[in-house]
Amino acid sequence: MELRLPKDFFMGAAMSGPQTEGAYRTGGKLENIWDTWSDLSISDFYNKVGSYVGNNFYEKYEEDIKLFKSLGLDSFRTSIQWSRLMDQDQKLNPEGADFYHKVCACAKEQRIELFMNLYHFDMPAYLYDRGGWENREVVEAYAVYARTAFREFGKEIRYCANRKEVKDHGDTGILLGSKLKDGDRVVIIEDVTTSGKSIEETYPVIKAQADVEIKGLMVSLNRMEKGQTDKSALEEIKEKYGFEANAIVNMGEVVEYLYNKPYKGQIYIDDGIKKSIDGYYEKYGAGKNI
C-alpha cells in the first residue's frame, strides 16, 4: 500500500533559540533562566555544552539553514529569545532584532518556511527573580514583548506560536528555582510516560529540593508504552514510587474514533470536532480505515 503526504505537508526540523544560538553575552542579550541554569549546573548539559555556545547558530545560521535545504527539508522551527529581542526597559534591542531579521532573510532565500516560537522556557532572569509568571508585571512584560515581535517580524514570519508547552512552565520553574518547602504536596506533570525515564530524572530532583510528599503523576498523553517488564509504564511507576499515575488524555480513545471504532471514558469529542476531523480526511483524500 502506497501512502502519500498531502501537497501542503511540511517536512522540517525543530530547535529553539536558547538551546542552539549560543552567544549568550553577545549583542545586548540579557541573561535568561537557561543561561542561569547553564552557569550554575553545566554538568546537567550533554558534554557540558550549555547555552553559552549551544550549536553556535548565532554565528553559523547560514550554514545550518543551507544544511536543512540540502537534506530536502522545507521548514524548520526555532524561537526568538525574549532576552535577546528586548532590553531591561522592555524596549526593542536593535542588535537582537537584526539577528532575527537575518535568519528570516536566509530562510526565505533558501525557500525554507520558518515556524517561530516566542517562548521556549527562557524567561529573562531579572523577571524570574521578580516572581516569574506568578507576578502580573511579568505577564504584562510578555505581552509587550509579543506585540513588539509581531510588529517587527509580522511581514517575514507566516507561522508563529505563542509559547512551547504551556503546562510545563511551572515544572521548569520548580526544577530551576527553589520554591518548594518541607511539607509541600506535589503532583508531577509530564508530557508522556516515556517508559518511566522522565519520572526517574524528575523525581530525585524534586525530592532533593525539600521534604515533600509526591501525591501523583499526571501525563497529558498516554502512549500506552510498555515499561521494562510486561506491565505498562504507568503501572510500573505506581508500584515503584507508591503514588498514583494517571493520564489526563488517553490518545487511544482519539485513535479509536479515527478508525471508526467505539470510544469511551476520559475524552469527549463533540460534533464540531468530529466534523473537523472528517473534513481533514475529505480534504486529503484519505479514509478512516487506511
Give catalytic residue positions. Answer: 167, 169
Side-chain-side CA neighbours of residue 153 (13 Å): 31
Q: What's the rounded Cα separation, in Å, for the pair 169 and 196?
A: 21
68: cell is 536543512
- 1 C-beta neighbours (distance < 10 Å), count: 3
Place of cell 489526563: 248
CA 277-75-58 angle, 5° bins:
140
Which positions ≥6 away from 86 have C-beta within 8 Å? 30, 92, 93, 96, 124, 144, 145, 148
Which positions ≥6 away from 107 have C-beta within 8 Å? 65, 76, 113, 114
Name the β-bridge partners of 113: 75
Q: What's the rounded Cα separation, in Å, for the pair 27 and 188?
A: 37
Which positions ≥6 away from 239 have C-beta within 8 Å? 231
Query: Which pairs with CB-CB distance under 8 Å and at least 24 residues apart come from 251-257?
Result: 251/221, 251/222, 251/223, 251/224, 252/222, 252/224
Side-chain-side CA neighbours of residue 280 (13 Å): 9
Per-residue burial over 251-262, b = 16 or more CB atoms within 10 Å of its CB, e = otherwise: ebbbebbbeeee
